[in-house]
Amino acid sequence: MKLELHKIMVKRLVWGEATTVRDGVLYVNKQELISLISEDELLGKVDVDLAMPGESVRIIPVKDVVEPRWKIHGKGQVFPGLVSDVETVGSGRTLVLSGAAVVTAGKIVRFQEGIIDMSGPGAAYTPFSETCNVVLLLEPAKDGMDKHDYETACRTAGLKAAAYLARCCKSVKADKIVAYNHADIKNAMWGHPGLPKVGYIYMLQTQGLLHDTYLYGVDVKKILPTLISPLEVMDGAIVSGNCVSACDKNSTYSHQNNPVIEEMFKRHGRDFNFVGIIATNENVTLADKKRSSSYAVNLAHMLGLDGVIITEEGFGNPDADLIMNCWKAEQLGIKTALLTDEYAGQDGASQSLADSCPEGDACVTAGNANEVIVLPPMNKVIGVVEEANVIAGGWNGSLAADGGITVELQAITGSTSELGYTKLGAYTI
């Protein structure tokens, strides 16, 4: 498989008569975009706003972030099974509006949504303070609407908007083309003799109650762990539909730009053979956790993997899935490296994870989500600022009279991403 990402670099957003890109500026036809989103009868009031890096702007409450993309050549189309036909992706040429993002916001679906500050101390904790954000302000068609229906409408709106923006730019010449190749399993394992065979166990949030993730449009809680190509992930096969805490919610954007996959590609053929990805779920019952962890590790064993990287999404209950995957793999002689975050209390003195095991001795942290931060007032708020008093990481009284907000990092979108898609981190060479 070969995937080319044709990247158009977006440095600024402007309203325009036609949606297109010229000289690094993404012009957006506001009314055309609103009309497209308003086609969904589940949505009531719909609006669109723009937010640029460095501006005194706060977006709250944030549901998802999506990178605008459109398939310009090859099989399948973006976000398969949700806004396009169910066809395998991961090959051909995909247009990317790099530096731009669609942010879904507006009336809250569930309290586990987040904040993006485009400047100030909060901006230092979210990667989406550095993207040019097209913000969709969404409200349900009626009060009392089923939250699952409202979440579906918000998720679909974000995906449709992202596809629309990129599709309108499909004739624009890319500024940069990045090509990725991933061989079949046999060649991936043995293409570089003598190097260890390494895979990636990709844990996806699937606890239900609006804690959901979709693979080719299928709710991942309904599947057994499955083997997929990293190029499928990079090409939009995985979409977020969950309302877990904003700090470690894997947004659709972070799935599209998963840094673990990116780094494993860089080291393939140099330090190890990157064999592939085992996508697995995070269930609620003990029986489901046992089933999925055993099946995921068995797949790794059948592939003859020497090591696996395991990433988590969420905290608490999913910690049990993380540790089951870890010690079952280690028992079969498969070395593990874990990527998680911590909920160690506001003073950092509490137990970081809900579960652990002696075998989990190679663990990378993305930070303590309970750390408290004070966000100063912004000149402009896109959304509903009063939700600061109810979102996860906030509390009644988080919102000050002057518009400032005191919250835990838990409330800041992507601040402790367990994919490593965060501004807190370090590289070793």
Active-site hit among 132, 154, 168, 243: 243
Query: Strand, coil or helix: what is 4?
Result: strand
* 182: confidence class by pLDDT, cuts 50, 70, 90: confident
Is residue 37 included in any domain, yes or no?
yes
Asked if pLDDT for residue 162 goes beyond 80, the answer is yes
Is residue 426 included in any domain, yes or no?
no
Q: Is the peptide bond before 127 cis (omega within 30 degrees of 0)?
A: no
pLDDT of residue 427: 63
CA distances from residue 195 to 113, 231, 382 in whole angstroms, order as listed: 42, 22, 50
Is residue 419 included in any domain, yes or no?
no
Question: Once rounded to an integer, what is the mean pLDDT over residues 156-162?
Answer: 97
Q: What is the pTM of this model?
A: 0.95
* 167: confidence class by pLDDT, cuts 50, 70, 90: very high
Active site residue 247: no
What tens digit of pLDDT does each residue of 390-412 get?
999 999 999 999 999 999 999 99
> How far, in Å, CA of 409 to CA of 394, rounded?
9
What tens digit of pLDDT does each residue of 197-251 get?
999 999 999 988 788 999 999 999 999 999 999 999 999 999 999 888 999 999 9
pLDDT of residue 429: 59
Which residue is associated with the tokens 């990116």?
262
What tens digit of pLDDT does each residue of 103-149 get?
999 998 888 899 999 999 999 999 999 999 999 999 999 988 999 99
Is residue 91 included in any domain, yes or no?
yes
Query: What is residue 84's DSSP assignment?
Result: B
* 92: confidence class by pLDDT, cuts 50, 70, 90: very high
> How far, in Å, CA of 135 to CA of 383, rounded?
9
Asked if pLDDT for residue 301 goes beyond 90, the answer is yes
Residue 109 sits in which domain range? 8-169+194-411
Reported in sequence order, the residue ranges of 141-272 that DSSP labels E, i.e. its strands, are 176-181, 197-205, 213-215, 218-219, 226-228, 238-240
Query: What is residue 268's DSSP assignment?
Result: B
Asked if pLDDT for residue 347 goes beyond 80, the answer is yes
Is residue 23 included in any domain, yes or no?
yes
pLDDT of residue 76: 93
pLDDT of residue 426: 63
What tens digit of pLDDT does each residue of 360-387 get?
999 999 999 999 999 999 999 999 999 9
pLDDT of residue 177: 97
360, 338 in Cβ contact below 8 A?
A: yes
Is residue 113 included in any domain, yes or no?
yes
Query: What is residue 350's DSSP assignment?
Result: S
pLDDT of residue 428: 61
Is residue 422 included in any domain, yes or no?
no
- Give the count of domains, the chain: 1
Mean pLDDT taken over the chain:
94
Query: What is residue 189's DSSP assignment?
Result: H
What tens digit of pLDDT does each residue of 10-62 get?
999 999 999 999 999 999 999 999 999 999 999 999 999 999 999 999 999 99
Burial readout 130-151 (b: 16 or more C-beta within 10 A, e: otherwise)? ebbbbbbbbbbeeeebeeeebb
Is residue 182 included in any domain, yes or no?
no
